[in-house]
Each structure stands twice: as C-alpha cells, then as structure tokens.
Amino acid sequence: MKKEDINTLDDLKVFLTSYQEENSEDDCCELVRGICKENGWIYTADSSIGYDDEDFATDGEHILSLVSTGWQIFENNGQDINHNGTDITVREDGDNYYVNFNTGLGEGIYPKADWTLEKAIKDQENIYKENK
C-alpha cells in the first residue's frame, strides 16, 4: 500500500505495520502527523486533549493505537478528564469538540473554528450547572 492510498484508519494501520519495520519511531510519528493533516484527522500528540501515550491518530469515531501486539483500532469513547472535581468525557474530530459531563444531558458539540477546548468545557459546565 502506498501513502497516497490511505483513506481510513484501517488503511493507515496496514501501512504502518510494514513501514514501522524499516523506519524509526520518530519517522513514524512525523509520517502519521502528515497523514492525519491530509485526511482531516487528529494526530493525538498535537491535540489539547490528553490522549494516552500509545494513541497516535483519531478520526473522531476511532483511535489508532500502538499497543504491545502492534497497531490496533479502538472505538473512541472519549478521554476522561477531571474538571473542577467532576469527571467529564471529551473527544474530538477534525471539526468539533464533544464535551460530556456524563449527567444524562448528552454531549455538547463545539465547532473548533469558534471554540477552544477550554471555552467549550466552561460553556458545557454552565449548562450542567443550570440543569443541576
């Protein structure tokens, strides 16, 4: 598979499995960063959300991770963070942040063009407090 043929995280997984055998981890990271940019995905090391160390890329729905058994794709259920004593879940795709205070109100969707992650969390926190 060629780099130009990568359209999904599954494609990236297949490509990286062979690429990793012949290249350094730094080369791999730079390659993933570029592929993510081309496809509108998130290279997790560049995100304001704190992903796990083994997470490399997300399309919003799934996360590509390098685990002990190799490259794997997992459902992106979001990253749990503690915000002012409340455990919340955040995730992102190329266009939006999704902030969920896990209270049954659902997640707020915030376009990245208009919101930072911090402002999105504060806005969702105010909605959470209003319905408390």
Are residues 32 and 69 located together in one domain of the fold? yes
Are residues 93 and 111 located together in one domain of the fold? yes
Are residues 23 and 68 located together in one domain of the fold? yes
Question: Which residues make beta-bridge pairs with 45?
Answer: none
Q: Which of 75, 95, 119 is the last residue of a domain?
A: 75
Low-confidence residues of the chain, pLDDT below 50? none
Are residues 11 and 49 located together in one domain of the fold? yes
Give residue 8's pLDDT: 96
Which residue range is the domain that position 16 belongs to? 3-75
User: What is the number of structural domains in the chain?
Assistant: 2
Give residue 132's pLDDT: 58
CA–CA distance, 75 with 92 (Å, rounded to integer) = 13
Report residue 52: phi and psi, to 5°.
Answer: -70, 155
